[in-house]
Amino acid sequence: MTGVDIVKAVSRFGGVRSVIVFSGVTIAALAALLAMRGRKRKHSDLSEAKSNSSDSASDQDGASTTAGTSSSSNGESSDSSDGHHQADDVEDIVVAGDDSSTGDSLFVRWSRRAGLVQPHSARRRKEARLSGAADVDDTAAAAAAAGAASPGVPGTQRVYVKTFGCSHNTSDAEFMMGQLSSYGYHLVDSPQEADVCVINSCTVKGPSQEAFMTAVQRAKAMGRPVVVSGCVPQADRTIPGLEDVSVIGITQIDRVVEVVEQTLQGHIVRLLGKKSLPSLDLPKVRRNPHVEIIPLSTGCLGSCSYCKTKHARGKLGSYETEAILDRVRRAISEGVMEIWLTSEDTGAYGIDLATDIAALLRAVVGVLEAHPGSAGRVMVRLGMTNPPYMLRHCGSVGEVLRHPQVYEFIHVPIQSGSNDTLRHMVREYTVEDFHALVDGLKQRVPRLTVATDIICGFPTETDDDHQQTLDVIRRHKFPVLNISQFYPRPGTAAAKLKRLPNHVAKTRSGEVTSVFESYETTSWLQDTVQRVWFCEHSTRSQHTVGHTKQYVKVLVRRDEQLLGKSAFVRVTSTHKWHVLGEICQPPMDVEKGEP
């Protein structure tokens, strides 16, 4: 066949040894794809039919009504089967188009019966058919040279990736973008430019899920094939509006190239079974080239009554310490300035591996100290933790937070200042535990920035419960406070409770906001000189944005040369959300060295 490479591969499918014929794919491209898929997955049984439930709670950035700059959530549990028989092996997803002239139709028919691949004629690209196809190698080369898509040639199309929710979700999206880019796909900034849209979802609250569904509907209205991923489809496989899109489960992100490839050919692919965690050595395209986000684990050990995320991410699954340290080394060598350690509960890290978060943090600091040139350049930020497990390591973690290359910042959601409400939320700690953790950390790190979250209007919350929450805010004067009204999430225990009237939740939310706005936390910085690490430009003003050691946001006059570097700043004015400053010379008591 002129212009067509035919590669025969043996695959397991439903217990039958069969020959699959791949048409229209070059040997080189197929080899690259198989190499990517095969990395660290030697014949492991990834059966979708044997789905292991796994879930989580999250360090949610932008998922709540925020009175600060970060946010959070936790969750409850359960996974349902969609009834599809799924392929046993990683290669089984790769199928030929169903043009009967190629001899591929037998496998495609088997795939359809198994529920693995469904035809979608309305989206199938005529150019993908073999009839009349130009030479694949020549077409791909021309497309690569032009930076444009070549219909029918895998790895040359344009992909738009949109993500919602937490920093863990952002990391997942970056790993997916890295794989797509490595295989030759062109990442674009809008769905209008794209040949296919990948939309990564957040299920923490109703509004975040609604925003995700709106993005899906807009992409479909433009006639774009859609691949969805993240917690929404993983937590609920029957959501209306996702029947005609491809789906990637949270542990299946290392198969995004396969799913995108098949979706572009007009198939619907659904990979929702749980398997081992995707490798941390996957290629990555960072949203911010100066920030590396490293997931420490997925899932959690809690069962919070209001949280849907646990339904998606499941029980705690931690990455091996050495895999995390390798990712830290790689990030440093690639020139990043901030390393975010994230998970649904960083304090629980390693409990399933007979290690703990304190040991990991000490090891991370050891990598920083051993890496030439990282001193003063690379900073580590610890992500969200719940009180119970972090309290066990309060002393050790406090010492790590004092290290010059670790931000004095921690995110500990309290959710309510009432023990009764915490019990109904199934939060597994008391207000006294929260006080002990925060006070213990501040004894070691007096200027520690503590971010927290509050849920207003939980169904069982009384006026007295609400007042106790206000008292906690007044006591600790949190610099960052994420305020959310209760949203009943389908399938959670709290959703079965009788809701408070909307006006009650709204009034309480307003009172929490008023208390938060009644105090200041940055005035101590006025006229001081601070070392600041700069990682981005403001999208709202002509400023470059950085953070102090306490992770206080600093704005200086926009300067392209500052990105990815640190400098000394004299603070000229302080505000609720940030401080303003000017670049200055280092103070006399600072050791000599490059900032």
pLDDT at 129: 29
- pLDDT tens for the chain, 595 residues long, are 433 333 333 333 333 222 333 333 333 444 444 444 444 343 333 333 333 333 333 333 333 334 443 333 333 333 333 333 333 222 223 322 333 232 333 233 333 333 433 333 333 333 332 223 333 333 334 444 444 555 556 678 999 999 998 999 999 999 999 999 999 999 999 999 999 999 999 988 888 899 999 999 999 999 999 999 999 999 888 889 999 999 999 999 999 999 999 999 999 999 988 778 999 999 999 999 999 999 999 999 999 999 999 988 999 999 999 999 999 999 999 999 999 999 999 999 999 999 999 999 999 999 999 998 899 899 999 999 999 999 999 999 999 999 999 999 999 999 999 999 999 999 999 999 999 999 999 999 999 999 999 999 999 999 999 999 999 999 999 999 999 999 999 999 999 999 999 999 999 999 999 999 999 999 999 999 999 999 999 999 999 999 999 999 999 999 999 999 999 999 999 999 999 999 999 886 554 434 4
Q: Are residues 245 and 296 both part of a single domain?
A: no
* Distance (Å, whole) CA 108 – CA 97: 7
Q: Is residue 68 a part of any domain in this protein?
A: no
503-539 confidence digits (pLDDT tens)? 999 999 999 999 999 999 999 999 999 999 999 999 9
Q: Are residues 183 and 211 both part of a single domain?
A: yes
- Residue written as tokens 């979708």? 48
In sequence order, what are the beta bridge partners of 89? none
Q: Are residues 336 and 480 both part of a single domain?
A: yes
Q: Are residues 329 and 364 both part of a single domain?
A: yes
Q: Is residue 566 a part of any domain in this protein?
A: yes
Alpha-carbon separation of residue 491 from 79, 270, 484, 486 (angstroms): 10, 22, 19, 15
Alpha-carbon separation of residue 206 from 79, 169, 202, 484 (angstroms): 19, 17, 9, 11
* Amino acid (1-letter code) at residue 113: R
pLDDT at 589: 58
pLDDT at 149: 56
Q: Is residue 590 a part of any domain in this protein?
A: no
Q: CB under 8 Å to 448, separation ≥6 — which residues?
A: 401, 408, 409, 410, 441, 442, 550
CA 29 to chain centre: 29
pLDDT at 266: 93
pLDDT at 422: 99
Of residues 233, 227, 232, the one with CA closest to residue 176: 227
pLDDT at 38: 47
pLDDT at 71: 37
Q: What are phi and psi of 545, to 5 degrees?
A: -110, 135
Instruction: Give the CA radius of gyration of the chain.
Output: 25
Q: What is the DSSP string of 451-497?
A: EEEEEE--TT--HHHHHHHHHHHHHH--SEEEEEE--PPTTSGGGGS
In sequence order, what are the beta bridge partners of 570? 529, 582
Q: Is residue 149 a part of any domain in this protein?
A: yes
Q: What are phi and psi of 430, to 5 degrees?
A: -110, 170
Own/partner long-range contacts of 120-124 (Cβ < 8 Å, ≥24 apart) = 120/225, 120/244, 120/266, 120/267, 120/268, 121/266, 122/266, 123/225, 123/263, 123/266, 124/97, 124/265, 124/266
10 Å Cβ neighbour count for 181? 17
SS3 state of residue 537? strand
Domain span holding position 378: 291-519
Q: Are residues 262 and 180 both part of a single domain?
A: yes
Q: Are residues 245 and 313 both part of a single domain?
A: no
CATH of residue 40's domain is 3.40.50.2300
CA 558 to chain centre: 29
* Distance (Å, whole) CA 543 – CA 563: 11
Q: Are residues 149 and 262 both part of a single domain?
A: yes
Q: CB under 8 Å to 503, separation ≥6 — which residues?
A: none
Please say whether the beta carbons of 421 and 461 come within 8 A: yes
Alpha-carbon separation of residue 581 from 135, 531, 573, 592 (angstroms): 59, 11, 7, 22
* Distance (Å, whole) CA 585 – CA 573: 18
Q: Is residue 16 a part of any domain in this protein?
A: yes
Last residue within a domain, chosen from 468, 495, 519: 519
- Residue written as tokens 């960052």? 480
* Distance (Å, whole) CA 185 – CA 50: 32
pTM higher than the cut 0.85: no
The helix or strand, by DSSP H or E, that contains position 581, with its residue range, turns out to be: strand 579-584
Q: Are residues 535 and 508 both part of a single domain?
A: no
* Amino acid (1-letter code) at residue 161: V
Last residue within a domain, chosen from 519, 548, 576: 519
CA triple 175-179-182, angle to 5 deg: 135
Last residue within a domain, chosen from 223, 240, 271: 271
Please say whether the beta carbons of 400 and 448 come within 8 A: no
Q: Are residues 382 and 310 both part of a single domain?
A: yes
3-state secondary structure 347-404: HHCCHHHCCCHHHHHHHHHHHHHHCCCCCCCCEEEECCCCHHHHHCCHHHHHHHHCCC
CATH of residue 335's domain is 3.80.30.20
* Amino acid (1-letter code) at residue 99: D
Strand 186-188: give its sheet, edge to edge: 117-119, 267-271, 246-248, 226-230, 196-201, 158-163, 186-188
Please say whether the beta carbons of 219 and 1 come within 8 A: no
Q: What count of Cα atoms within 13 Å lies in the side-chain half-sphere of residue 89?
A: 17
Q: Are residues 512 and 537 both part of a single domain?
A: no
How many structural domains compose the chain? 3
Token pair recorded at residue 163:
């993500």
* Amino acid (1-letter code) at residue 336: V
Of residues 247, 254, 250, the one with CA closest to residue 344: 250
Q: Are residues 476 and 570 both part of a single domain?
A: no
CATH of residue 552's domain is 2.40.50.140
Q: Is residue 281 a part of any domain in this protein?
A: no
Q: CB under 8 Å to 556, separation ≥6 — which residues?
A: 532, 534, 543, 544, 546, 562, 569, 580, 581, 582, 583
Q: Are residues 375 and 343 both part of a single domain?
A: yes
Q: Is residue 38 a part of any domain in this protein?
A: yes
Q: Is residue 60 a part of any domain in this protein?
A: no
